[in-house]
Amino acid sequence: MQPGTAFVVTPPRRDPGAESSLLYAETARLVKGALMAKGLYEAPDSAHARVIVEVEYTMETPRVSRAAPDPTGQPGAAARGMEIPDEALNARSAQRGPLEKNLILTAREARPAGGGVPRTLWSVEVSTTDNSNDLRKYLPILAASAIDHMGTDSDGPKTIRISETDKSVTLIRQSK
């Protein structure tokens, strides 16, 4: 994508109701800041845009066993059938394992030639994994790490290391 390209940000086509959520609004703001850092500008609406960028975010829950460890520390408690109540399963702990937080950006033509199906121009998926269940904390970092890959095809997965104090993260956090 060339600098000066007009874009609009939308929720995924399969989840049009996401636009009314506060988390989506915050994520869209961060992605718009990242796109503007690439030299693109936000169009007033999709009729004036050349590119539509779909924004999706997920947090994958780990696979857990419903059997609890024995509170006395004795082996074999899980085999004896002790179970964790549902409320405890929803609580986050290091014992339950890490969560993967994802930001997926898919850019499509705003007006496909011949009125056909919009062609996908590029797609970027960035993720981080740790024990935190705070997706909001990671969205600026994910958006900042996506900046260099917007508009290009990475030809497969790449590992990127970025710090919470990186200047691109600070720039994305400050975008309005």
Q: Model-level pTM?
A: 0.72
The residue count for the chain: 176
- 71 located within any domain: no
Q: In 3D, which of 18, 20, 2, 22 has the Cα closest to residue 55?
A: 18
Is the pLDDT reported for residue 30 higher than 50? yes
Report the domain count for the chain. 1
- Residue 78 has what pLDDT? 37
Is the pLDDT reported for residue 94 higher than 60? no
Is the pLDDT reported for residue 129 higher than 90? no
- 65 located within any domain: no
33-70 pLDDT per residue, tens: 999 988 999 999 999 999 999 999 988 864 343 444 44
Tokens of 99: 């969560």
- 84 located within any domain: no
CA 123 to CA 136: how far, in whole Å?
21
- 169 located within any domain: yes
What are the respective helix, strand and coil percentages of the chain, to the nearest 5? Answer: 35, 25, 40
Tokens of 120: 């996908």
CA torsion, ordered 86, 89, 92, 97, to nearest 10 deg: -170
108 pLDDT band (50/70/90 cuts)? very high
Domain that holds residue 163: 6-59+92-174
- 160 located within any domain: yes
Higher confidence at residue 73 or residue 31? 31
Q: What is the mean pLDDT of the chain?
A: 77
Tokens of 84: 């964790």
What is the phi/psi pair of residue 162, to 5°? -145, 140
Q: In 3D, which of 124, 135, 122, 128 has the Cα closest to residue 162?
A: 128
- Residue 132 has what pLDDT? 83
Task: Report the CATH number at residue 165.
Answer: 3.30.160
- 85 located within any domain: no
Is the pLDDT reported for residue 101 higher than 80? yes
Least confident of 10-24, 91-105, 118-132: 91-105
Tokens of 111: 């007006």
